[in-house]
Amino acid sequence: MSLPGTHQDPVGAIALNKSDIALRKLDLPLTAGVWVEKTDYPLGTDPNRLPLRRYIDKENGYIVLFSDPALGYIAGNLFRDGAMAEGGDVLLRYLVTNADLENVTDEKGTFAQGQTAFDADSTFGAIVASVADGDEILVCDDLGDEWADFIGLDNRASPPRISFYHGKHGPLSLGASPFHVSVSQAQKNLERMMLPAAAMGGKINGWRNNYISGSSVHTAIPRVVRGDPDLLAAAFEQARAAPDAIRRAMIVTSSLSKGAVEQALADIRSGGRPDPHFIQLYQLLMSFFSACTDMNAFGYIVCRP
């Protein structure tokens, strides 16, 4: 096993078992002496701590790519998907473009005392200005017991719509690295898209406060971006109780261009050899969309044109 895109000596080894693929060896200098342990114990005293390689193997925290782009091994599961070689139309249907993301320079922007809105050139600003402009109610849930960066409701629609927005920023890429955190966050919170009644009281009370940045800057940005704070409880209960509500898990990112994805898929369709990093991205996103479907939700990537 070598690092993708390199011709160096092997840095690892895998074992093909009957039911899984195991990571048997990982020789990277940066990982030497790295252990994973629980924070419940003082550093170095967790009796069940594991070397990084064993932890990665235990948690299936790796992806195996094959020369056949239709195959991929992610999170302990083998995927076969011939749609990539046939044009990747399935993936493209989940990519929604937003021109405001072309001008984004930061995920959340900068903050100052008394500031009343998120910076227009931030991913958060783009979500408020245009990505979520169809929601009658929009709240910022960033930081703390975070379910999403923003949660939107539209009870005027038929059927009603619940949207979780996960905002990210980064340089343009056709690799999976920029997406691991956002996909993990979105998948972890899919169950919360049911808006559990027992948790809503605490969430709504928190949204009555103005936004405090991660660096503790007290802004004047209201967490209730749109909607009447006094009517939130009724609005969220209405959406939660709707048997036909549409739930959307939306990763909003400036690091991906739909046009670049279309070109990569066209190159594969014409017989070109796919880049391993792009295969990894494709499999990661398709697994995310599949996880959303399993939870009766729709996954989308909102990206640059």
pLDDT for res 87: 55
Q: How far is residue 60 CA from its own chain's centroid?
A: 18
> Over 70: is that where the pLDDT of 1 sits?
no
pLDDT-derived band at 23 (thresholds 50, 70, 90) equals confident
Give per-residue pLDDT as tens, 184-207: 999 999 999 999 999 999 999 999
Distance of CA 232 to the CA centre of its chain: 26
pTM value surpassing 0.75: yes
Show the tokens assigned to 74: 């992610």
pLDDT of 71 above 90? no
The residue behind tokens 């209405």 is 238
Domain ranges of the chain: 12-61, 89-304
The Cα–Cα gap between 18 and 115 comes to 58
Res 86: pLDDT: 59
Of 67-71, 79-83, 266-270, which one has max mean pLDDT? 266-270
pLDDT band at residue 17 under the 50/70/90 scheme: confident
> What's the CA gap between 126 and 261, in Å, rounded?
21
Looking at residue 73, its pLDDT comes to 78
* 106-123 residue pLDDT tens: 999 999 999 999 999 999
Mean pLDDT confidence for 209-224: 95
On the question of pLDDT at 228 being above 70, the answer is yes
Say whether pLDDT at 2 is over 60.
no
Helix 232-241 to helix 197-207 angle, to the nearest 10 degrees?
A: 150
pLDDT above 80: residue 75? no
**What is the mean pLDDT of the segment spanning 12-22?**
84
Least confident of 85-94, 102-111, 166-175, 221-230: 85-94
Q: How does the average pLDDT of the chain come out, rounded?
A: 89
Indicate the residue type of 185.
Q
pLDDT value of position 85? 58
* 88 vs 283: CA distance, rounded Å: 11
Burial code (b: 16+ CB inside 10 Å, e: under 16) for 96-131 equals eebebbeebeebbbebeeebebbbeebbbbbbbeeb
pLDDT tens digits for 242-300?
999 999 999 999 999 999 999 998 888 887 777 778 888 888 898 899 999 999 999 99
Strand partners, 16: 21
